[in-house]
Structure 1
Amino acid sequence: MSAAHKMTGLLVCLLPLALPAHAATDNRQLLGTWTLTASDNVNPDGSRLHLYGDDPQGTLNFDATGHYSLQIMSKVRPKFAANDKSKGTPEEYRATVVGTQCHFGTYTINEKDHTITMHVEHATYSNWEGANLTWPYTVDSERATFTVPHPSIGGPGVYGEIAYVRTH
């Protein structure tokens, strides 16, 4: 066997190791666009806080190349009275920051553990930039739910739960 054939055989064997983790998993159930139905914090006593109101708005997109984008916001947020976002009041700025959660980056799925890790490139909550957020999930053809072990709002024992339906 020639050296070229041996090298080709070795490359074929090693190719799966060089592929990104999302390429080696069957993530077809999560691919596409999802519409937000709920975004709650669940307290240790089981009570829920609707972080973005009773009718939160948002989308979550997963593409086949391993990229995602997530947008969540309160349906009702005050408009800036000055009609200039650089001239908002402290209350307008607070409502904007607390009333939105957006981030994007890449993702990998661990089907065995039913977790997704979002490798955050940029986020409205800047503490999450550069973070790897690992969230347990459940998914079927029409619904996806993610558990956020350490939400951006809340104290010890609080976890987040974000629910989506598939966008058609």
Structure 2
Amino acid sequence: VPGGVGFTSTAEGPYSHRVVSGGDETFHVIALELLTPPPAEAALPAPRSGTAFELVMENYRGRAYRIILAPGESTGSFTRPAGTALFAVSAGRISEIPDGKPSRLWDFETADFQWFDTSETLSIKNEGPLPIELIEIEIPAGDPSSAAAVVGAWGLVSMDRHFEDGRVEPHMGEDPAGRLVYDEAGRMMVYLAGRDRAQFASSVRSAATPQELKSAFDTQISYFGTYSLDEQAGTVTHHVESAWYPNWTGAQQVRFFELEGDRLRLSTPPILVDGIETRVYLTWERLQ
């Protein structure tokens, strides 16, 4: 359907697909890939009002509106938030009249688009001789205070296991090594290991004994994938794409987070170990 809008989540991991045109005419498909973690739901602006805007999609990543204007017709004044994409479903000419600024003209061909990274109040008018159809998609950036602050590389300071009976024990020995990376595109990786890991007797990896392999497996944690922050819940979720422990691949690892300056503290939800409830606390420091 011309002007159709859809959304597919990759929260569970990436996927491959193919688009095939089954008709005799050129078929335009525009894919808008969202590479940053989703903001809190509160970051979504209030829905637009007015008959010019038909809400055609709404979810936790944003909203999409269809705009159909007859020749000479205007949307009336509305506020376009920062992080909005405008797509032309049909060719035509429009003018945009921002409040307090000069008007601007756009001559669109089918499937042309524009990106707007600043918010403004404006109206859109069809300046052409034929009706024009547009799609606007709002992609809210959210409050960047925590989402942007976790981006970077972090070095492990401490990793302790806290038991419900009050005991606190170092996890993976004294002074374990670790690196954690969050990037702006919403990807992450982590590596944790004990510093006193025993070397194999042989320099040939395939000659390792079952005991050596088990020890090497038990003294490290490593995986990579994508991440999303829920600032209201105070959690960061790691969507694991591949892990040293196969059962974690394709799963989600939720961590509570506290951010204070260049220190990031992550903690697991309660875990049962030998029938005793325990949580692991990791303190990270930003690497310069």
Instruction: State the TM-score, normalized to the length of structure 1.
Output: 0.85
Structure of greater Rg: 2
- Structure 1 residues not aligned, in runs of 5+: 18-22
Does the CA contact (< 8 Å) of 1:36 and 1:163 recur in 2? yes
2:273 to 143, 148, 154: 154
- Which AA in structure 2 matches 1:34? W
Q: Counterparts of 1:34 and 1:148 in 2: how far apart (Å)?
A: 18
Mapping 1:91-106, distance limit 5 Å: 91-106=211-226
Q: Counterparts of 1:48 and 1:76 in 2: how far apart (Å)?
A: 20
Q: Counterparts of 1:50 and 1:85 in 2: how far apart (Å)?
A: 29
Q: Which stretch shows the higher mean deviation, 105-114 or 39-48? A: 39-48
What RMSD, in angstroms, separates the aligned Cα atoms of the two structures?
A: 2.1
Q: Counterparts of 1:147 and 1:97 in 2: how far apart (Å)?
A: 22
Does the CA contact (< 8 Å) of 1:16 and 1:24 recur in 2? no
2:248 is the counterpart of 1:125: no
- Which AA in structure 1 matches 2:279? Y
Residue number in structure 2 paired with 1:57: 177
- Secondary structure at the residue paired with 1:158? strand
User: What's the CA shift string for 1:75-132, capped at 9, x where partnerless?
Assistant: 1111111112221122211221111000100000011111001000111122211111
Q: Counterparts of 2:142 and 2:212 in 1: how far apart (Å)?
A: 45
Point out the structure with the larger helix share: 1
Mapping 1:8-47, distance limit 5 Å: 8=134, 11-12=135-136, 14-16=137-139, 24=142, 26=144, 27-47=147-167
- Which consecutive aligned stretches of 4+ in structure 1 deviate over 6 angstroms post-superposition? none
Aligned length, in residue pairs = 159
| Structure of greater relative contact order (alpha carbons < 8 Å, 6+ residues apart) | 1
Residue number in structure 1 paired with 2:228: 108
Instruction: State the TM-score, normalized to the length of structure 2.
Output: 0.51
- Structure 2 residues not aligned, in runs of 5+: 1-68, 71-88, 91-125, 127-131
Displacement of 1:24 after TM fit?
4.5
Q: Counterparts of 1:118 and 1:162 in 2: how far apart (Å)?
A: 15
Does the CA contact (< 8 Å) of 1:57 and 1:75 recur in 2? yes
User: What's the CA shift string for 1:34-82, capped at 9, x where partnerless?
Assistant: 0001122211112122221111001000000000000000011111111
Mapping 1:75-86, distance limit 5 Å: 75-86=195-206
